[in-house]
């Protein structure tokens, strides 16, 4: 496989850098919402296309904007003045011969379903307006789907990068958001909203995390009640992190708060998301496909969410690069850290990247000849199985945010 380049480096692994910065945007964050619902629409359309025609047809649902609404809130409750608006854009296949596919209805139903499942304080029918502005695809890109062959040609020239393993900082930041948005935590703290954002900075082996999480206006009766519940939540987080692998963990929680300022000095929510009145969202501004925003790592610029799962390498290669890195790290002894870059060329079969570039940081001296042979074998195996992999993507089996 002449298109694979392998370098064994003497770099310091990210987990050993003096400073590491990691962010995660949680389920209720406007950017997360955009990524999640657009990808869910792609999965729903893929299912409909396969049901009707036996294959996934041309679509890319990767342009979306969640426009913040307006609410009035205070201790004990509030009301929606202007609903949020979700604009769903880009391309889809609307007709095949005389058959019409109800693309707009599928998109709208999918969004309302996702919102109902993930944002329980929000009424999916009343609190969000949905505007579907999808259009048919261009002739050139749609034609890819009429060409013969088991695999599609790449519909873009694009690059992606993945890495393994996750560092303790990455794992911890990820797990903090999952912990706060877990059913068990919501039982203990039902006032905790879903719009959780975690920013972690590790200095040597000391971790400092800043967590933003709104509290439900309906369940907080006064300023005093807010700060009492805030203290309890912060204590629960500190207890949860007490078993972490760091020398020390500092937890900062809702640091914009200002006692004595009433509603203006606390972080309240009516619907569980800041998109209700404070922050709009957009596809591609949230987490990478491994759920993290890791500033010490190389990152691609593709928004994987919503892209076509059988032809758009911006999705396929972005997810596959992380899978490749994980397989290499797991299956080749002596690797401390590994990075995989994938480059496509528009029109070329998706199982034939223009370039695969692998960086290995060994934990000890390794046999370069043996490592190179194993890298080639593993990557060849994964590229040979790309048809099954794209089927998994079309079913939504690989999270993208």
**Dist. CA 306–CA 328, nearest whole Å:** 27
**Dist. CA 141–CA 90, nearest whole Å:** 13
pLDDT of residue 304: 96
Asked whether the bond before 323 is cis by omega within 30 degrees of 0, the reply is no
**Dist. CA 232–CA 225, nearest whole Å:** 11
- Asked if 323 and 170 count as a contact pair (C-beta separation under 8 A), the reply is no
Retrieve residue 265's tokens: 């000095």
Polymer length of the chain:
401
Q: Inter-axis angle of helices 386-394 and 368-384, to 10 degrees?
A: 60
Of 111, 161, 110, 159, the residue nearest 289 (C-alpha): 161
Q: Sort strands 99-100 and 95-96 into parallel, antiparallel or unpaired.
A: antiparallel
pTM listed for this prediction: 0.95
Within 13 Å and on the Cβ side, how many CA atoms surround 168? 18
Retrieve residue 79's tokens: 């009301």
Buried b / exposed e across 287-310, counting CB within 10 Å, b at 16+?
bbbbbbbbebbeebebbbbbbbbb
pLDDT of residue 1: 47
Q: Sort strands 248-253 and 159-164 into parallel, antiparallel or unpaired.
A: unpaired
**CA distances, 147 to each of 60, 142, 219, 313, 394 (Å):** 18, 10, 57, 17, 19
Ordered by start, the domain boundaries in the chain are 15-26+167-282
Retrieve residue 242's tokens: 């007490």
Helix (H, G, I), strand (E, B) or coil at 19: strand
Buried b / exposed e across 94-115, counting CB within 10 Å, b at 16+?
beeeeeebebbebbbebbbebb
CATH architecture of 15-26+167-282: 2-Layer Sandwich (3.30)
Give me the residues of the chain with pLDDT under 70, please: 1-2, 138-150
**CA distances, 373 to each of 5, 163, 328, 341, 377 (Å):** 12, 19, 12, 18, 6
Tokens 């990691």 identify what position? 22
For 97, phi and psi rounded to 5 degrees? 60, -120
């Amino acid at each position: 496989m002449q298109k694979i380049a392998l370098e064994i480096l003497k770099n310091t692994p990210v987990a050993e850098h003096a400073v590491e910065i990691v962010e995660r945007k949680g389920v209720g964050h406007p950017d997360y919402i955009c990524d999640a619902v657009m990808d869910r629409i792609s999965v729903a359309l893929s299912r409909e296309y396969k049901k009707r025609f036996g294959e996934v047809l041309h679509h890319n649902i990767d342009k979306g904007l969640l426009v913040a609404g307006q609410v009035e809130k205070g201790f004990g409750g509030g009301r929606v003045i202007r609903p949020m608006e979700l604009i769903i854009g880009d391309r889809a296949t609307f007709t095949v011969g005389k058959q019409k596919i109800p693309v707009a209805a599928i998109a709208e139903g999918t969004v309302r379903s996702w919102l109902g499942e993930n944002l329980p304080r929000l009424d999916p029918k009343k609190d969000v307006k949905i505007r579907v502005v999808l259009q048919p695809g261009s002739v050139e890109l749609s034609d890819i789907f009429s060409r013969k062959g088991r695999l599609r040609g790449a519909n873009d020239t694009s690059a992606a990068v993945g890495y393994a393993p996750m560092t303790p900082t990455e794992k911890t930041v990820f797990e903090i958001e999952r912990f706060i948005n877990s059913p068990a935590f919501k039982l203990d703290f039902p006032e905790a909203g879903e719009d959780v954002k975690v920013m972690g900075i590790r200095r040597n082996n000391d971790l400092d995390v800043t967590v933003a999480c709104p509290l439900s206006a309906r369940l907080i009766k006064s300023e005093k009640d807010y700060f009492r519940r805030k203290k309890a939540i912060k204590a629960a987080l500190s207890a949860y992190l007490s078993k972490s692998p760091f020398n020390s963990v500092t937890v900062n929680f809702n640091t914009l708060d200002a006692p004595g300022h009433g509603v203006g000095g606390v972080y309240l929510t009516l619907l569980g998301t800041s998109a209700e009145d404070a922050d709009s969202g957009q596809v591609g501004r949230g987490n990478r496909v491994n759920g993290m925003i890791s500033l010490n790592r190389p990152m691609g610029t593709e928004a994987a969410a919503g892209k076509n799962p059988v032809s758009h390498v911006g999705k396929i290669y972005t997810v596959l690069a992380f899978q490749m890195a994980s397989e290499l790290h797991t299956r080749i002894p002596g690797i401390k850290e590994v990075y995989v870059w994938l480059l496509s060329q528009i029109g070329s079969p998706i199982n034939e990247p223009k370039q695969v570039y692998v960086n290995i940081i060994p934990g000890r001296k390794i046999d370069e000849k043996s490592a190179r042979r194993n890298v080639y074998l593993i990557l060849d195996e994964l590229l040979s199985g790309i048809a099954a992999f794209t089927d998994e993507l079309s079913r939504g089996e690989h999270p993208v945010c």
